[in-house]
Each structure stands twice: as structure tokens, then as C-alpha cells.
Amino acid sequence: MPALLSPADSSRADHHKVVIVGAGAAGIATASSLIARDPSLDIALIDPADVHYYQPGWTMVGAGVFKAPSTAHTMAGTLPRGVRWIKARVDGFDPQGQLVMLDDGRAVSYEQLVVCPGLKLDWNAIEGLSETLGRNGVTSNYRYDLAPYTWQLVQNLKHGRALFTQPPMPIKCAGAPQKALYLSCDHWLRNGHLGNVRASFFNAGAVLFGVADYVPALMSYIDKYAVDLNYQHRLTAVDGPNKRATFIRTLPDGSTETRIEAFDMLHVVPPQVAPDFIRQSPLADAAGWVDVDPHTLRHRQFGNIHALGDVANTTNAKTAAAARKQAPVVANNVLVALGRLATLAQYDGYGSCPLTVERGKIVLAEFTYGGKLAPSFPRWLLDGRKPTRLAWLLKAQILPPLYWKAMLKGREWLARPQPLMVEAQQ
């Protein structure tokens, strides 16, 4: 079990060779990858949470496939041995002084800093949403406590309107808004209710999915479930008691109009931004994300700082699969910066999104920077552009233990870092 540092234990918390901010998938995987390479390394991990969640499982919870508790482990039991756990919130950074400031007044100094606190779900950006979440038919698979409510609503809805929303990019797991749609429609179809339940998808973007190769398969399910598909619609307000959702639609000429839709069930995905202490820090770019080189994941201005996961300003999909590939790269490059390894590693932008189009079948989207397809398996075995049962088996039975027992333990199956190529440096 990791050593837990209390506020009073400031002497031990004062300085560490490597400090990692954030104990989500990216932070724990990076810590474990560092320890796997150098067990003697002095690492502190800062995070206030008591629980670590397997967030990719929440879509399955919302469809009645997983039980919510299976996606939650104690933080103390998840962090790798040998890591000092500083259970506190970060308040800011002083990169010149090589300090991380905590909200209890302490400061932690470092030689190398890894920043991966995830992103912020901005529920308050949608008027009236926070007051009605978990009630009045309003839910979201983006919260642990609400995913079971999604399944409850899906089971109980026999007729009426079900609305599913997707906010402007970037968001984590860009396919998740669709996953909720498809799995809900599949349940209604199997139980003979789809004709009476009318499903609509309101996407703030202009395309169904950002990588065109996967769109034909997804559109076939949009047609199969007779989904009312709407682009350029951004959810701005929710009136839960009266069951009304307000959207701003962007027209081709750039003007906008307001559209109000009635609902019986509303699945909301909130806008997503970098955490406040990141956006207000010297580490952020103009949009608020940590500014890193897309290949080395090293900060563009501060050479002893790396960032990965959802908070980085890289253009890859913000998924756990991306963090799984990024963590060994950061671990390698931190050790290069410390003089303990010689060769930099590179991240190619890999991201994966298992699009659950029905119970038992998945379109497995895998791609690198620029939307280049990057399948992990030969096409004869698993063609990710088509819905397959093998991809479902991967999502439902293989990926959860792979997450807990491999990725978070520093076992880099299909994630070994590759040496930095000359063209990636340019």
C-alpha cells in the first residue's frame, strides 16, 4: 500500500524526485511504468480522491451490462507500492521554483513534474442541469452515481421521446454520447418498444464521428434504430420539471436559432474544460490545456514538466486507451531527463474508442494523429470498421482486467514505447 502523507507530515512531503499530479488512469499508469523501469525512484503522487474509477465501464453500467461497484476500487489499494501518496488538492504551480502548491498551504518541490489531473465536467455550463440531474428523467453516463439511473430510465421507458446530446469537442471518449444512444435503442428494439420510443441525437459538431472510416457502420445503426439525427445543436438549458431541453442551432450562414424539445428521457454529456488550477497556471495554452509537444509529451516551455491524459493539448482522442500508450512514453522521457535512460520515446497519437452499437457488438475505432487507422489486430481477425462480437468480448471481458492488472501495474501489453523518430522532433 502506498504511504499516505498527512498535512502535518510536511517534512516528508517537501521534496520528491518525481511528482505526479493526478491519480487517474494516466497518473497511476505513469507511476507504475516509472517504478517498473527504476524501482528506486522517489515518486510522489498528489490526488485528493479516496476512490479510483474505471470510467470506460460506465457506458456498460448505463446499459445494465456492468454493476457500478465493479468500476470502483479504493485509491489506497490501487496506487503502486513505493509511491508516496499526498492526499490533497493542487492549487497552483511555480515552474521556475519547481513547486506545486497545495490548497492546504503546503508546497511540494520536484525535479521532474508529470501533470495529468484529467479534465473538468462543466455541468454548470448548461442552465438548470445541475438542479435536475438524477431526477425528472435527466441522466448522464459521465457520472458514477448517474449511470445506474440511465439503465433505470431505459428499462422503464415504454413510449415517448428520448434525447441524447453531445457537446462541442474536445471531450473525453468522444464516442460515449453515441454509445448511450445505441445501447438504449438496442434495448428498446429487443423489447418491442422502439416504435413507441422516438430517439433523437443532438450533436454540437458537424459529423457523426471524427474518423470517416467508421461512419458507414455507425450510420447503419442510426438507420436501424430510426434515430432523428441533428448536427450543430448545442444544449444550453434544461427545464427538468417541465421536461424541456433548449438547444442553440448553428445555421449554415453562421447565424443561430433556439430550439426547444420535449423529452421523457434526456441523456446529457456536459461541456468539458481543463481544471481551473490548470487553466489559470503558467502551464496552459490559450485554450487552457497543458501545452506539450505532441510526440514527446514534454512541456513546450518547461523542460522538466510532462503532461498526458485528458489535460494535455494533444489532438488525440481523450480516452483511457490513449493514456495507456502515453504513460510508458512519459515514463521513458522522464528518466531520460533524469539521465537514467539515453533514448527519447515518442507517442503517435493513438486513441481507441470501442463504439457499442448493440449489446454484443462493437465497432472498434483505433487511430493515431490525423485519423490514421491503427488496428491492434490483423483485419482478418478483427476489422474495427465493422461491428463484431470479438470486439464486444474485448470490451466486456478483457479490457477491465487489462486496465486493473496490466495498465495500472506497469505491464505494457501492446504499449511499449517506440524511439523518437527524427521527423517527430521537427
Which tens digits make up the pLDDT trace of 94-138? Answer: 999 999 999 999 999 999 999 999 999 999 999 999 999 999 999
Instruction: Considering the candidates 23, 46, 353, 394, report the single residue annotated as catalytic.
Output: 353
pLDDT tens digit sequence for 36-48: 999 999 999 999 9
pLDDT tens digit sequence for 213-245: 999 999 999 999 999 999 999 999 999 999 999
pLDDT tens digit sequence for 306-346: 999 999 999 999 999 999 999 999 999 999 999 999 999 99
Look at residue 3 in the predicted model and tell me its pLDDT. 52
The yes-or-no answer on residue 185 being catalytic is no
Look at residue 422 in the predicted model and tell me its pLDDT. 55
Instruction: Considering the candidates 31, 35, 44, 173, report the single residue annotated as catalytic.
Output: 173
Q: Please, are residues 342 and 336 in contact by the beta-carbon 8 Å criterion?
A: yes
Share of the chain above pLDDT 90, in %: 92
Query: Is the pLDDT confidence value at 424 over 70?
Result: no
Query: Is the pLDDT confidence value at 162 over 90?
Result: yes
Query: Is the pLDDT confidence value at 25 over 50?
Result: yes
Half-sphere CA count of 347, side-chain side, radius 13 A: 33
Look at residue 415 in the predicted model and tell me its pLDDT. 65
Find, among 202, 315, 199, 209, the residue nearest to 250 by Cα.
202
The yes-or-no answer on residue 116 being catalytic is no
pLDDT tens digit sequence for 362-396: 999 999 999 999 999 999 999 999 999 999 999 99
Residue 376's alpha-carbon distances to 175, 383, 394, in angstroms, are 18, 10, 12
Interhelix angle 176-190/215-224, rounded to 10 degrees, is 40
Look at residue 414 in the predicted model and tell me its pLDDT. 73
Query: Is the pLDDT confidence value at 79 over 80?
Result: yes
